Amino acid sequence: MKNMSINNTKSIGLVLSGGGVRGMAHIGLIKAMREHGVEADLVAGSSVGALVGALYANGNSVESMLSFFRETPLFQYSFFAINKPGFIDTERYFKIFKGYFPEDTFESLGKPLYVVATDLLKGEERMFNQGELIKPLLASAALTPVFSPVEIDGILYADGGIMNNFPKEYVDEHASYIIGSNVSIAAEVHKNELKNSLQLAGRVTSLMIYASNRAKLAECHISIEPKELDKIGVLDKKGIENAYAIGYEHGSRAIEKMLSA
């Protein structure tokens, strides 16, 4: 973690990782920031980090952010995909998102926002920061193979975390002070938790994502990475309140430490 007083900064960047329901910890961090009068000037996020980042850039209250995730169904029979790859049709969420982002543009947000999604055709990451907002958000959060890819201008996009789960580089040149929140945790597991191919694949994937996050997280001036989040399932909506509380606790400590530096 870099040493630099927030009092000497011109702009603050906030970087939010992917990680499903664990991303409610991002909202806890935002609550701690607001309570201490700390406001980011721009935001970059991937997957759930993009969703939280968009709500934050939109000026939503913490309670409104939590309501968005509490009320948005993860698995609903009418949302099941038909003739599309994935179990859930991601684009069925468009109407829900439109209720929160009625203008559906990056330009309508109160802060610059950088959203990362994965171009499945080229195998490259794609950053969105202007024009249409909702489809890039849906694409960034389209965790495969659960959610179907999202088509934008003839290209299929999926979860931004595949290629870049902690898109810090998009705020580097614009912010002099960077706050990071990583909720993609790869804590130690017991060998009994690696009994089948699915568990093994999941473990290897989480380790790969975590390895790519680690170096960039260390470059942030201040960051949180709550290990307790590892006990919360990525798609377990019952973990929303717990993840939020964990993020608030860690965020409060980090912000207090930052302000006292």
Q: Which residues are catalytic?
A: 47, 159
Length of the chain: 261
Instruction: Please give the structure tokens belonging to residue 183.
Output: 């909720």
Tokens of 43: 């935001």
Q: Treating both helix axes as pointing N-terminal to C-terminal, what angle do 62-71 and 240-260 enclose, rounded to 10 degrees? A: 150
For residues 87 and 104, give the distance between their C-alpha atoms in angstroms, rounded to a whole number.
Answer: 26
Phi/psi of residue 117, each to 5°? -130, 170
Question: In the 8-state DSSP scheme, what is residue 131?
Answer: S
Residue 184's contacts (CB-CB under 8 Å, 6 or more residues apart) are 17, 18, 19, 22, 161, 165, 166, 206, 209, 210, 213
Does the CA dihedral 104-106-108-109 come out positive or negative? positive
Residue with tokens 């717990």: 242
Q: At a CB cut-off of 8 Å and minimum separation 6, what does 10 contact?
A: 176
Please give the angle made by the CA atoms of 24, 243 and 161, to the nearest 5 degrees: 50
